[in-house]
Structure 1
Amino acid sequence: MAEGYLTTHVLDTATGRPAAGLAIALFRVTDSGLTRIADAVTNADGRTDTPILPKAAFEPGTYELVFDAGDYLRATGQAGDEPMFLDIVPIRFGMSDPDAHYHVPLLLSPYGYSTYRGS
């Protein structure tokens, strides 16, 4: 069994705080489509309570994290007019090293976002 794993967190750059209560789904991407493999909600620190993909379930491959930014922005009063500029934020990425910890954070505001490979 591979030792790699995946974590994520969300920071609200408009408020300068962690994004608590934001729903996240993780999908494995294959030639036949997307397979949903995990769901989580961020805690008060903007992180999931456990790795969204733990070591025991890790497999190298292509994945997609889908952040429900719209519901979070609505709940925090940052949504603006409908339709919102940002609603669902998908981030597709690859994990090739079976021994690595991958960390894919989301920096979010109502009108933009960024990500990077963290540590």
Structure 2
Amino acid sequence: MKKLILGLLLSLSVSLAYSQAPKYRLSSHILDISTGLPAQNVKVKLEKLNETNKMWTSIDQQETDQNGRIGNFLEETKTEKGIYRLTFLIADYFKNKKTESFYPFIEVVFQIKDNKHYHVPITLSPYGYSTYRGN
């Protein structure tokens, strides 16, 4: 009987942990189109514009994972509407690949206007990049 109760309690605690996992409003992805592979270990800074004094405030900084992704920027419950900037620090990425590149970093400025999820990816090569709003 004790094993059954312990099993039920463990199951309940796991279910509660999953139901309370935070959700995020913003994600990003970097695809290196010169290789066709995701860009791993790229530092990406997130900032928000203070529209009163026109200064940028640092929100977060993370690195892309083995799939070139960051999936956990801006926790849903704490996200404010406004103008944001992602800065992709790509100089070290190309340096580590022993590849010359033109851009030391890429800034993408965008506006969050509602409570939807925003996915802001870039496709990247040593001498160019492109961005769009994904989903």
Q: TM-score, normalised by structure 1?
A: 0.87
Instruction: Answer yes or no: is 1:28 the counterpart of 2:44.
Output: no
Instruction: Answer yes or no: is 1:101 the counterpart of 2:123.
Output: no
Give the Cα–Cα distance (whole angstroms) in 1 for the partners of residues 27 and 121 of structure 2.
8
What is the aligned residue count? 111
Give the Cα–Cα distance (whole angstroms) in 1 for the partners of residues 83 and 48 of structure 2.
6
Shift of 1:102: 0.3
User: C-alpha root-mean-square deviation of aligned residues, in Å?
Assistant: 1.4
Q: TM-score, normalised by structure 2?
A: 0.78
More helix by share: 2
Which SS does the other structure have where 1:8 is aligned? strand
Is 1:4–1:102's contact at 8 Å kept on the other side of the alignment? no
Give the Cα–Cα distance (whole angstroms) in 1 for the partners of residues 81 and 24 of structure 2.
8
Aligned structure 1 segments of 4 or more residues deviating by more than 6 angstroms: none
Instruction: State the match for 2:102 in structure 1.
Output: 85
Flag the 1:75–1:60 CA change in 2: closer, same or farther, 3 A.
same
Structure having the higher Rg: 2
Instruction: State the match for 2:128 in structure 1.
Output: 112
The match for 1:45 among 51, 63, 67 is 67
Q: Percent identity?
A: 37
